[in-house]
Amino acid sequence: MCIRDRVAFSLFDAAMEMTISQFHVMTYYGDNPTLILGLPLYSLVQNGALALVGGWTILVAAPHLLGVRKLLLALLVPLSFGLQAFVTTWPMYLGLNTGASRSSLLILGLIATAANLALPILCVYSPQARALRTHPVPARTQSGTGALVGQR
């Protein structure tokens, strides 16, 4: 998925979440000063980065999972999403749940937004991603399936 597709997905997701927030189908809790039409700024950034972080998880884990163990990717990718959400927005969750002042929440929200921006950038420029860009894995069809698989 190219950057243009990621941006398009992020904008679609943001519009969808903002719309359902306006109709009170979903509400983010707390006195959050980073809300933009009902969607926290850090969530806007985070939601756009989820697929990139999930892809990086596959890139790093797949070579170590052979045979039937590759099925573990079905658990690892959603776990990476949850871990991303927890680690990058933990300061804001802490602030919202401890009654921090609005100015403190704004600072924490900006820190969470910066962390959500930094994580996908770290993934894109990781040694694993750089190696893949330098030496791409050629695609081939697996005999009889028509499915493309990478080979090393």
Q: What is the pLDDT of residue 10?
A: 79
pTM listed for this prediction: 0.79
Strand partners, 148: 141
**How high is the pLDDT of residue 139?**
62
Q: Give the mean model confidence (pLDDT) for residues 96-117.
A: 95
CB 71 within 8 Å of CB 106: no
Q: Which residues pair with 39 in a beta bridge?
A: 36
Cβ pair 66, 140 in contact under 8 A:
no
CA atoms within 13 Å, Cβ hemisphere of 53: 25
List, for residues 14-73, the tens digit of each pLDDT value: 889 999 988 989 888 788 999 999 999 999 899 888 888 999 999 999 999 988 998 999
* Average confidence score pLDDT of the chain: 86
Q: Which helix (H) or strand (E) holds 26?
A: none
The answer to whether 18 touches 39, Cβ cutoff 8 Å, is yes
